Amino acid sequence: MAFESMEDKHVPPTFQQATASAMPQFVKNFQAYDVGNPHPGYGTDPNILNCYGHTKYPMWVTKPNQEQVIVNNEEEENAALGKEPVALRDDGPTVEEYASAGYKAANYPPKGYDSRSSEEEIKAAVEKQTPKSGW
C-alpha cells in the first residue's frame, strides 16, 4: 500500500515531544547560554571554558595506580598524576609595579610568579591601598 502524502501516515511523537505537550513544566532548555547570551562567568572565571558555561574542574583523573579521583584545580590534578610542580617565574613585577598597573596589592604576587618585593614592601603597599576610616 503506497501513501499519497505524509498526512496519510501516522508518525508517533518522540518521547520529548510527548513529554513537552503533556508536562510542559518538565521541559528544560539545555541551551540556556549561547554565543548571543554567554554564561555570566565566561571571560572572568578561568575555569569556564566557553560561552555555554562548560567547566574544566571538577573532573575525574586516573592516577598512575589506576585509582580514579575527582580533582578541583590544576594543583590537585598535578598532584594526583604525580607531576612535578611548575617552578615559579622570577621575572614578574614588584609590588609597586603591580599596584600601579591597577591590581590590588593584597593579591601580590601574581599566580605563577615569585615575589620580587620584601614582606615590608608588600605590607606598605596593602596599607596604602586600604581606605582610611574617617571616624
Which residue segment(s) compose the domain that 60 sits in?
Answer: 56-86
Does residue 9 belong to any structural domain of this protein?
no
How far is 82 from 64, CA to CA, in rounded Å? 8
CA dihedral angle for residue 125, residue 129, residue 134, residue 135, rounded to 10 degrees: -70
Could you read off the pLDDT of 65-106 as tens digits, one per residue? 999 999 998 889 999 999 987 788 999 999 999 999 999 999
Same domain membership, residue 70 and residue 41: no
What is the reported pLDDT for 7?
57
Does residue 134 belong to any structural domain of this protein?
no
pLDDT interval class at 30 (50, 70, 90): low
What is the reported pLDDT for 10?
66
Does residue 120 belong to any structural domain of this protein?
yes
**CA atoms within 13 A of residue 116's CA, in its CB half-sphere:** 13
What percent of the chain has pLDDT above 70?
A: 81
What would the DSSP string read from start to end of 71-133? Answer: E-SHHHHHHHHTPPPPPPBS----HHHHHHTT--GGGPSPTTB---S-HHHHHHHHHHHSPPP
Same domain membership, residue 48 and residue 33: yes
Structural domains counted in the chain: 3
**Contact predicate 117/94, CB 8 Å:** yes
Could you read off the pLDDT of 119-131 as tens digits, one per residue? 999 999 999 998 8
Average pLDDT for 33-42? 81
What is the reported pLDDT for 126?
92
